[in-house]
Amino acid sequence: MKSMISLCIGLIKRIFILNSLSIIRPDDWHVHFRDHEALHYTVPATAMHFGRALVMPNLQPALTTISVVNAYYERILNALDKTVSFLPYMTLYLNENVLPDDLHHLRQYPHILGAKLYPAGATTNSNEGVHSIKKLYPLLEIMQTHDLVLQIHGEVTHGDIFDREARFIEEFLVPLTHDFPKLRIILEHISTQAAVEFVLQAPTTVAATITPHHLFYNRNQLLAGGLRPHYYCLPILKREHDQRALQQAAVSGNPKFFAGTDSAPHAKKLKENACGCAGIYSAPYALAMYAQLFDELDKIKQLNHFMSVFGAEFYHLSPNQDRIELIKKEQLIPTSLPFVNDDIIPIAAGTTLQWSIHEST
Identity of the residue, 27 or 165, whose beta carbon is nearer to ligand NCD in the bound complex? 165
Alpha-carbon distance 110 to 96, whole Å? 23
Using a 10 angstrom Cβ sphere, with 0-12 exposed, 13-18 middle and 19 or more buried, the burial of residue 306 is buried
Tell me which of 69, 133, 233, 287 binds ligand NCD, using CB under 6 A: 233
Is 213 a binder of ligand NCD (CB under 6 A)?
no
First to last CA, the chain: 40
CB of 302 to ligand NCD, least distance (A): 25
Asked if 118 and 129 touch (Cβ cutoff 8 Å), the reply is yes
- Out of 270, 278, 317, 349, the only residue in the binding site for ligand NCD (CB under 6 A) is 278
Q: How far apart are CA 196 and CA 332, in angstroms?
A: 32
Residues with Cβ within 8 Å of 150's Cβ and at least 6 positions away in sequence, in order, are 94, 114, 115, 116, 117, 140, 143, 183, 184, 185, 186
Q: Which stretch binds ligand NCD (CB under 6 A): 42-50, 86-94, 123-131, 201-209?
A: 123-131
The answer to whether residue 153 forms part of the interface with ligand NCD (CB under 6 A) is yes
Q: Binding to Zn ion by residue 262, rule CB under 5 A?
A: yes
267 binds ligand NCD (CB under 6 A): no
57 near ligand NCD, judged by CB under 6 A: no
Question: Rule CB under 6 A: is residue 230 a binding residue for ligand NCD?
Answer: no
Q: How many CB atoms lie within 10 A of CB 52?
A: 24
123 contact choice in ligand NCD, Zn ion, none (CB below 5 to 8 Å, kind-dependent): ligand NCD
Q: Which of 88, 114, 212, 279 binds ligand NCD (CB under 6 A)?
A: 279
Of 42, 46, 58, 209, the one binding ligand NCD (CB under 6 A) is 58
- Give yes or no for residue 63 binding ligand NCD (CB under 6 A): no
Residue type, 152: I
Single out the segment in contact with ligand NCD by CB under 6 A; choices: 64-72, 122-130, 133-141, 199-207: 122-130
Question: CB–CB of 117/137 below 8 Å?
Answer: no
- Which residue number, 187 or 326, has a Cβ lying nearer to ligand NCD? 187
x/- binding map, residues 286-325, to ligand NCD, per CB under 6 A? ----------------------------------------
Q: Is 262 a catalytic residue?
A: yes
Q: Of the listed pieces 79-87, 102-110, 166-174, 261-269, which binds Zn ion according to CB under 5 A?
A: 261-269
Catalytic: which of 163, 262, 322, 342? 262
Size of the site for ligand NCD (CB under 6 A): 12
Distance CA 314, CA 52 (A): 14
- Give the list of residues 6+ apart from residue 92 with CB closer than 8 angstroms, or none: 57, 63, 64, 65, 66, 69, 98, 102, 103, 106, 112, 114, 115, 116
Smallest separation, CB 339 to ligand NCD (Å): 13
Return the ∠ at Cα 89 (arms to 85 and 95), rounded to 5°: 165
Tell the smallest beta-carbon distance from residue 31 to Zn ion (Å): 8
CB of 211 to ligand NCD, least distance (A): 8
Number of residues in the chain: 361
Q: Give strand pairing partners of 116.
A: 93, 151
Nearest-angstrom CA–CA distance, 151 and 212: 18
CB 250 within 8 A of CB 295: no
| Residue 228 exposed, middle or buried by CB count within 10 Å (0-12, 13-18, 19+) | middle
Rounded to the nearest whole angstrom, what is the least distance from the CB of residue 83 to ligand NCD in the complex? 29
**Stretches 15-23, 108-116, 121-129, 284-292: which one binds ligand NCD (CB under 6 A)?**
121-129
Among residues 165 and 262, whose Cβ is nearest to Zn ion?
262
Q: Which does 213 bind (CB under 5 to 8 A by kind): Zn ion, ligand NCD, none?
A: none
**Local structure of residue 88 (DSSP, 8 states):** E
Return the active site residues.
262
Q: Which residues bind Zn ion (CB under 5 A)?
A: 262
Q: Which residues bind ligand NCD (CB under 6 A)?
A: 32, 58, 123-125, 153, 233-234, 262, 264, 278-279
